[in-house]
Amino acid sequence: MLVRCVYVVTHPEATHHVEGVVGGWHDSQLTPAGIRAAARIAGTLRDRIPADAEVEVISSDLRRTLRTAEEAAKSFGVETIEDRRLRERSYGQAEGRAQEWLDRRFVPPPATGDRMGHDIRVSSGSITTLREDDYFHSRQVVGLGETRHLDS
């Protein structure tokens, strides 16, 4: 039985994090710590994915995500595929402004009812693993927002 896995990686520390400004489509770069974390992410993926697996590395076109993806692509000997549709949420007029500006205006999701229109946060540099088999087409979340690889 063939199993297809999708690894969703969030970019690690970027300049907008340390500068305290809103990211979204604001095109920041990885910090030196973020570059080191991207290398650890690539190593973790290399350890998890069999050597004979067909691998595609697809990234949004933002510099911080491309740099993260390029580390992974290099470890598999493939080119990164850019897809603008993979950009994270746009924060509109908040992008590039101080994070506190957005925090003062943020409306938390309701305890019940429609929660889908609200922000869902994951840790920088996290890996989420999704798996589907080719027989039953069973789909499962194997790992959600894992960050153990960043501890080293």
The two structure tokens encoding residue 76: 């598999």
Catalytic residue among 11, 16, 17, 26: 11
Question: Catalytic: which of 70, 88, 95, 146?
Answer: 88
Query: Is 16 annotated in the active site?
Result: no
- Please say whether the beta carbons of 40 and 149 come within 8 A: yes
56 as an active site residue: the answer is no
**How does strand 139-146 pair with strand 57-59?**
unpaired
Return the H-helix or E-strand segment holding 4. Answer: strand 3-9
User: What's the Cα-to-Cα distance from 12 to each of 23, 107, 112, rounded to whole Å?
Assistant: 12, 25, 31
Q: What is the DSSP string of 13-71?
A: -BHHHHHTB--TTS---B-HHHHHHHHHHHHHHHHHS-TTS---EEE-SSHHHHHHHHH
Q: Which residues are catalytic?
A: 11, 88
